[in-house]
Amino acid sequence: MSATSTQIARNQETSGAEKFICKMLCVSTDATRAEKVRSNEQAPRLFSLSIAISGLRCILSYVLFPFILPFTGLATTSEPYIGIPIGVIALIFDVMGIRRFWAAKHKYRWIVSFVYLAVMIMVAILVGIDIHTLAK
């Protein structure tokens, strides 16, 4: 690691926003931990998996439940019972993915965090709608 990249890493560590996010996510700012996490390169795989699960939840909510199931004559009363668990699992994987990117001090952690946040908001709204449907 060159002196410049070491200096950049130290400056990123001392950033107030970085410290706040790491504290909020319960992620260590320890440089050796970050190197260990970065070395196994699981962050991109976890990102792909969590976005795929969130995408599945959206496909179910916007394509399968409203269009395909009624067209085939299948009852759609089970939507919330399927949607809520998938949504909760998607949210858990999204949080795990964000934590992994921050623990690895990945260079795209800010951008990925905003993508995750947008996806999480959409999935949380869908879960909320399903909970409201069950409460009726």
Residue 25 has pLDDT above 80, yes or no: yes
For the ranges 10-14, 49-53, 85-89, 122-126, the lowest mean pLDDT is seen at: 10-14
Residues of the chain with pLDDT > 90, as a percent, come to: 15
Q: What is the pLDDT of residue 10?
A: 46
Q: What is the pLDDT of residue 44?
A: 76
Cα(80)–Cα(88) distance, rounded to whole angstroms?
12
Read off the DSSP letter of residue 60. I
**Burial (Cβ within 10 Å: 0-12, 13-18, ≥19) of residue 69:** middle
E runs forming strands in the chain: none
Q: Which residues contact 100 (CB under 8 A, 6 or more apart)?
A: 37, 42, 43, 46, 47
Residue 7 has pLDDT above 70, yes or no: no
